[in-house]
Amino acid sequence: MTTDLLADVRGQLDALAARSLVRRRRTAETPCAPRQVVDGRAMLAFCSNDYLGLAAHPRVVEALREGASLYGAGSGASHLVSGHSRAHALLEERLAAFAAPHLASARALYFCTGYMANLAVLTALGGAADAAIFSEALNHASLIDGARLARAGVTVYPHGDTAALDAQLAASTARTKIVVTDSVFSMDGDLAPLPALLALCERHGAWLVVDDAHGFGVLGEHGRGALEHFGLRSPHLVYVGTLGKAAGVGGAFVAAHADVVELLVQRARPYIYTTAAAPALAHALLASLDIIDGDEGRALRAQLRAGIAQFERELRLERWRRPASHTAIQPIVIGANDEALAVSADLHAQGLWVPAIRPPTVAPGTARLRVTLCAAHLDTDVAQLTSALNRLERSRA
Ligand SMILES: *Cc1c(COP(=O)(O)O)cnc(C)c1O
C-alpha cells in the first residue's frame, strides 16, 4: 500500500513535468544584488524585488548585527505571550507615522510575512458569513488564500474593471463589504486604479484593502507607497506593506484605524498563533526605513525610475507581448510554458538571470519572463538585457 501512496505522488510530479510546469530553485552564493554568484557562476540578475538594493546595504546589515547583540537571535514566543520586544514596538510606531497622513487614528502591526498579513486581514474583516469579499482577478495568491480562509462570500471582479465592481457592490446585500486589490500587480507591473476604487468603496460603504507589496518603499515622494503616490486618505483604508521587498529585510505590516488593528491583535490567527519574528529584523528595518524616508531613498528611487525608462525605450519587440507597465516589474508575455522556459534558459546561457513565470502564478497561455529592475542596475546592465532580448526574439522566430 505504501508504494501506491508514493506512486500517486510520482504521478502528480510526472504530470507537472509533462506540462513544463516543474519549478527549480537556483542557489545564490552571494548577497542579493544585480551581480550575484549563482550555483557557482557569476550572473547579472533581473529577478529580485530588492528594488532599492537595501537587502545588502551596509547600514541595514550593520543594524541587523546590532539588533542581534541588543535583542538576541530569536523572540522566544508569539507577540501575545512574551515575544513582543522593544524593537517591534519601535518599528510599529515608525510605520504608523508613515501611514498617518493617509488613515484616521493610524496604528501599525508587524507580521512575520506578507502572506500572513493578508490572511490575517481577510479572515478578521471577512470573518462573518454575512460579509462579502470583492477580489480583483489578478490578486496575489496570498489574497486569494485569505479570501478562501475567510467565512465571507467571495466575488472576483475583472482586472481593473471598476464598472463591474460597482455593479457587484450595488447588487450585494452583505452586511460588511471588503474590496481587496494589489496596488502594483506582481506579475504584470501595472497599477490598480486606487482613487476610483476608493471612491466606489466610500459610496458603497466598503473597506478597501490595498496590498502594496511592490509599492512600499518605491512609490510616492517619500517611498511611503501607493497611498502617498495617489494622495489617498480614508478611515476605511486597510494598508498592507511588505518589508522583504524594497525594504530589503523581511516581514510585513498592516496599517489601519487603531480599532481595526486591535481587532487583528485580538482575532487574527496568523498573528496570534505564530512565534514573533526575530527582533533583530525589526531593528534592521528601522535602518532601512531611515534610508527609504531620506535623501538616499529619494536618489535610489530616481535611479530606479531612470532604469525603467531606459528599459522601456530600448526594448523593441514584435511578437512577444508587453503589458503596459511603468514600474520596476516589466513582464514579457511569451505564451507557451516551454517557450518561456527556453528563452529564460537562453538568457541564462548568456549570464542573464531572468525567471520564467508559468501557471498557476499567471493564467494558462500567458507564461512570461518577469524582468525586475533595481536602483543598482547600471545603464550598461539594462542595455545588455534589452539587446539580448531584442536579438533573442528575432532568432527564435
Ligand atoms: C510578495 C507578495 C506578498 C507576500 O509577501 P511576503 O512578505 O513575501 O510573504 C503579498 N502580496 C504581494 C502582491 C506580493 O507580491
Residue 8 is assigned to a structural domain of this protein: no
Order across the sheet with 153-157: list the strands.
106-111, 252-257, 237-242, 206-211, 176-182, 131-136, 153-157
The protein residue whose alpha carbon is closest to atom 10 in ligand 1 is: 114
Distance 315 CA to ligand 1 centre (A): 28
> Based on the domain organization, do 386 and 271 belong to the same domain?
no
325 close to 189: Cβ distance less than 8 angstroms: yes
Count of domains observed in the chain: 2
Distance 21 CA to ligand 1 centre (A): 21
Please report the beta strands in 23-157, taking only residues with DSSP state E, as ranges in sequence order.
35-38, 41-45, 106-111, 131-136, 153-157
Residue 83 is assigned to a structural domain of this protein: yes
146 close to 104: Cβ distance less than 8 angstroms: no
Q: pLDDT at position 1, please?
A: 57
For strands 106-111 and 329-335, give the pairing. unpaired
Tell which atom from ligand 1 comes closest to the C-alpha of 142. 10
What Å distances lie between residue 64 and 69, 112, 132, 216, CA to CA? 9, 16, 41, 20
d(CA 50, CA 228): 20
Distance 185 CA to ligand 1 centre (A): 11
Distance 323 CA to ligand 1 centre (A): 21
Distance 113 CA to ligand 1 centre (A): 8
Distance 34 CA to ligand 1 centre (A): 21
**91-97 contacts at long range (C-beta below 8 A, 24 or more positions apart):** 91/253, 91/282, 91/283, 91/285, 91/286, 91/289, 92/253, 94/286, 94/289, 95/241, 95/253, 95/255, 95/289, 96/255
> Based on the domain organization, do 202 and 123 belong to the same domain?
yes
181 close to 199: Cβ distance less than 8 angstroms: no
> Based on the domain organization, do 383 and 263 belong to the same domain?
no
Distance 142 CA to ligand 1 centre (A): 7
Pocket test for ligand 1, best of 119, 142, 188, 249 (most atoms within 8 A of CB): 142
> Based on the domain organization, do 289 and 354 belong to the same domain?
no
Whether the bond between 58 and the residue before it is cis, its omega within 30 degrees of 0, is: no
> Based on the domain organization, do 50 and 104 belong to the same domain?
no
> Based on the domain organization, do 130 and 99 belong to the same domain?
yes
Distance 295 CA to ligand 1 centre (A): 26
Tell which atom from ligand 1 comes closest to the C-alpha of 244. 7
Distance 122 CA to ligand 1 centre (A): 14
For strands 206-211 and 176-182, give the pairing. parallel
Distance 397 CA to ligand 1 centre (A): 35
Tell which atom from ligand 1 comes closest to the C-alpha of 115. 9
> Based on the domain organization, do 253 and 345 belong to the same domain?
no
Give me the sign of the Cα torsion angle 181, 147, 135, 190. Answer: positive
Residue 273, domain CATH: 3.40.640.10
Domain boundary among 293, 308, 326: 293
The protein residue whose alpha carbon is closest to atom 7 in ligand 1 is: 114
Ordered per-residue pLDDT tens for the chain, 397 residues = 567 999 999 999 999 999 989 999 999 999 999 999 999 999 999 999 999 999 999 999 999 999 999 999 999 999 999 999 999 999 999 999 999 999 999 999 999 999 999 999 999 999 999 999 999 999 999 999 999 999 999 999 999 999 999 999 999 999 999 999 999 999 999 999 999 999 999 999 999 999 999 999 999 999 999 999 999 999 999 999 999 999 999 999 999 999 999 999 999 999 999 999 999 999 999 999 999 999 999 999 999 999 999 999 999 999 999 999 999 999 999 999 999 999 999 999 999 999 999 999 999 999 999 999 999 999 999 999 999 999 999 998 7
Distance 7 CA to ligand 1 centre (A): 34
Residue 345 is assigned to a structural domain of this protein: yes
Helix (H) or strand (E) holding 18: helix 2-18
Q: Is 24 helix (H, G, I), strand (E, B) or coil?
A: coil
Q: Quick one: how far is CA 240 from the chain centroid? A: 10
> Based on the domain organization, do 184 and 239 belong to the same domain?
yes
15 close to 9: Cβ distance less than 8 angstroms: no
> Based on the domain organization, do 120 and 230 belong to the same domain?
yes
Count of CB atoms within 10 A of residue 39's CB?
10
Tell which atom from ligand 1 comes closest to the C-alpha of 185. 13
> Based on the domain organization, do 39 and 115 belong to the same domain?
no
The protein residue whose alpha carbon is closest to atom 5 in ligand 1 is: 114
Domain boundary among 293, 317, 343: 293
Q: Which range of residues forms the domain containing residue 171?
A: 58-293
CB-based pocket (< 6 A), ligand 1: 113-115, 118, 140, 142, 182, 186, 211, 213-214, 242, 244, 252
Pocket test for ligand 1, best of 47, 191, 242 (most atoms within 8 A of CB): 242
> Based on the domain organization, do 116 and 181 belong to the same domain?
yes
The protein residue whose alpha carbon is closest to atom 1 in ligand 1 is: 213
Helix (H) and strand (E) counts in the chain: 14, 13
> Based on the domain organization, do 169 and 250 belong to the same domain?
yes
Q: Is 24 exposed, middle or buried (0-12, 13-18, 19+ CB in 10 A)?
A: exposed
The protein residue whose alpha carbon is closest to atom 14 in ligand 1 is: 213
- Written as one letter, the residue type at 316 is R
Q: pLDDT at position 4, please?
A: 93
Provide the grid cell at 204.
Answer: 458603497
Residue 325: closest CA among 316, 344, 312: 312
Q: pLDDT at position 3, please?
A: 72
Residue 348, domain CATH: 3.90.1150.10
